[in-house]
Amino acid sequence: MESDCRIPVSCLRPRVLALHALFWGLVSLRVFGAALLSEEKTTVTKAVTMPCWQMEEFVVAIECTVCNGFQAKRLDACRQTGYVEKINCTKSNKEEYKSCRSARLEEHLFWKFEGVMLGLTVVFALLVVFRQRSLDRQASEKVRRQIESI
């Protein structure tokens, strides 16, 4: 029984394509994963005292907003996420700033993730179709050879 593959390179083509697709899929997943993780990194700072909003009740004076250039340089809370809200502590009557997550930022991250997943779905669906066509061709060739040998 002879093999269909007299030239090894032509036999490996579907495997090589699948391996390339898998490799580039993993690379892109790593790149997007690193981008998502880098947005969530926090800086380590030593706080001498705990913020009043961790020890007592508070009222949000200004909702979560984007830090401007001055706030980004001056406030440690801005460095964490790029968004800050103004807090009024009830007992001590202090005004402090607290880092927060923006709904817009969360939505952006969600759609970025959905886009990556949709792209990977398309890539892997195409891989399945190409592999199935290749297997169908191999099966029909085998049947053709068996019929010719009769």
Average pLDDT, the chain: 80
Per-residue pLDDT tens over the stretch 2-57: 455 555 555 557 777 777 778 887 777 777 776 666 655 555 555 457 787 778 88
Pairing of strands 95-99, 83-89: antiparallel
Contacts of 20 (CB under 8 A, 6+ apart): none
Separation CA 73–CA 78 (nearest Å): 8
126 contacts 13 by C-beta, under 8 angstroms: no
- Segment 59-67 shows an average pLDDT of 85
Domain locations along the chain: 52-101, 103-150
Per-residue pLDDT tens over the stretch 64-78: 888 888 887 888 888
Separation CA 53–CA 84 (nearest Å): 14
Separation CA 41–CA 36 (nearest Å): 9
What pLDDT does 140 receive?
95
77 contacts 99 by C-beta, under 8 angstroms: yes
CA-wise closest residue to 60 among 28, 82, 40, 84: 84
- Architecture of the CATH domain 52-101: 2-Layer Sandwich (3.30)
